[in-house]
Amino acid sequence: MSCYKDRHKGQRCVIIGNGPSLNRMDLSFLKDEISFGSNRIYLGFEKWGFKPTYYVSVNQLVIEQSMKEILKIPVPKFLALNSLDGVSDTSGIILLKTTGLPSDSVPPFSVDPRSCIWEGFTVTFVAMQLAWYMGFSEVVLIGVDHHFVTTGPANKEILSEGQDPNHFDPRYFGKGVRWHLPDLVNSEVAYRIAKMAFEADGRRIVDATVDGKLTIFPKADYRRLFIERQPLQEISRERNEQIKVLIEQAEKKAEQCDIGGALSDTLWVIEQYPEAATAYSNAGVLYAHSGDFSRAMEHFIKALRIDPVSHEAVINCANMFAVAGETGKVRQIYSTYMQRNSIDRNIARLLKALTEDAGPVNVIGPGGLSSVEIEESFDEVIFLISGGNLLLAGDNDAAVKMCLGLLRYPDSEALVDFQQQLRTWIYSRTTGGNE
């Protein structure tokens, strides 16, 4: 278990419930996501064409009746220790000591499942605790319908007499299968605890279940989170490679200070490949460098519309509005972006600075700023926004000073972002093209 601690720090994962809403989703995106599956999810493997990254099961009835199939799942399997009586081959299995109720020795939410873990009346809660331990900063729920057609006393063991209407496959708890009726009320208690634990550590859980009945977590549209996140997926690989080569050729001209040639080549790429968000973004930077802020903004906005989760496009658009002093629009751009990509810590930091301050962020704008002095009170947020504004305003000397200010924060992701913005348009001017 220890080898999994913080293995996925800062990443996103999907916890897949087994509700019938899965049948209303395009699950192809899961091939590219880290995911947790549970219980009899293996019934969907052939239809979906993928397997989860991790498998979890703690229900004794499920494990007893499905052990043969579970052992065939070719991923790490987290299983309750008390359900493995008679199992000799435990290779590929991580044993979990679980309990039905928390106690003085077992916390409601375990940040270290190596000791003991509360089941929380649902395997989904167990997966949440494992995700926390592995370091995921965002957990997305799908298929957690939180609604059962079959009713009766919570946790009662019953024998199914027909097809299962409560899960994605009628065979899930089909005829002859023993299972426990759900405890939806107490599972909500566990979910609330998980929500508080994640948020207290600056992480979050979002519910992207289609028409799910659970109301504990903020809702999200899975298509926006996953499918729209990759706007160029439908482009053929060959076409995408052509775009990349042409953009790189234009960028080389810019690095050689041939701004006119770079812009001409970039606009040609846009004409031939109107879906190329990077080309629009590059054109915007070139227009801004030439002082044509109107066309720069036009192209930045187009890039953002094509790829709404592009970090580069968001920064470019926000910088343009910041130059114009329109702080409200900067907030709007950052807020919209964070709804789709909540784990971008740099944008989250910028948005926090904008929303928590009593007034607009005290950033440096254009206009006679080559003599700007670095103040001790500046933090990395100020350096990042101000540098972008100065860059767009064409005040290269001041922008370089802002970049040097960021060197106070050598471990900051903001430094990497800012250096990327400056590399082409600043260093080529100030050092003759030598980075």
**Least confident interval from 165-174, 205-214, 232-241, 271-280:** 232-241
The per-residue pLDDT for range 178-194, each reduced to its tens digit, is 988 888 888 888 899 99
Residue 165 has a CB neighbour count (10 Å cut-off) of 12
Q: What is the pLDDT of residue 334?
A: 78
pTM attached to this predicted model: 0.54
56-65, 107-116, 385-394: range with highest mean pLDDT: 56-65
Judge contact between 190 and 167, C-beta under 8 A: no
Distance from C-alpha of 51 to C-alpha of 70, rounded to nearest angstrom:
12
Q: For the residues 237-256, what does the mean pLDDT come to?
A: 82
Residues with Cβ within 8 Å of residue 32, at least 6 apart in sequence: 230
CATH level 2 (architecture), domain 237-430: Alpha Horseshoe (1.25)
Burial class, 16, CB count within 10 angstroms (exposed 0-12 / middle 13-18 / buried 19+): buried
193 alpha carbon, distance to own chain's centre? 22
Residues with Cβ within 8 Å of residue 292, at least 6 apart in sequence: none
Angle, helix 345-356 to helix 380-393, in steps of 10 degrees = 90
Mean confidence (pLDDT) of the chain: 77
Amino acid type, 358: A
Q: Is the pLDDT of residue 142 over 90?
A: yes
Apex CA 298: angle with CA 297 and CA 300, to 5°? 60
Judge contact between 140 and 165, C-beta under 8 A: no
The per-residue pLDDT for range 58-69, each reduced to its tens digit, is 988 988 888 889
Give the position of tokens 């206009």.
Answer: 367
15-19, 65-69, 108-112, 330-334: range with highest mean pLDDT: 15-19
Give domain limits for the chain. Answer: 2-227, 237-430
For residues 348 and 52, the model is more confident at: 52
Judge contact between 63 and 79, C-beta under 8 A: yes
Q: Is the pLDDT of residue 161 over 70?
A: yes
Q: What is the pLDDT of residue 12?
A: 92
Q: What is the pLDDT of residue 315?
A: 80
Q: Is the pLDDT of residue 405 over 60?
A: no
**Least confident interval from 90-104, 140-154, 336-350, 379-393:** 379-393
CATH code 3.90.1480 for 2-227: yes
Residue 22 has a CB neighbour count (10 Å cut-off) of 22
Give the position of tokens 């005040």.
Answer: 395
Angle, helix 277-289 to helix 293-306, in steps of 10 degrees = 160
Q: What is the pLDDT of residue 427?
A: 41
Q: Is the pLDDT of residue 91 over 90?
A: no
Grade residue 127 by pLDDT with cuts at 50, 70 and 90: very high
Distance from C-alpha of 86 to C-alpha of 380, rounded to nearest angstrom:
58
Q: For the residues 102-122, what does the mean pLDDT come to?
A: 81
Distance from C-alpha of 292 to C-alpha of 296, rounded to nearest angstrom:
6
**Least confident interval from 103-107, 114-118, 368-372, 373-377:** 368-372
Q: What is the pLDDT of residue 372?
A: 36
Q: Is the pLDDT of residue 389 over 80?
A: no
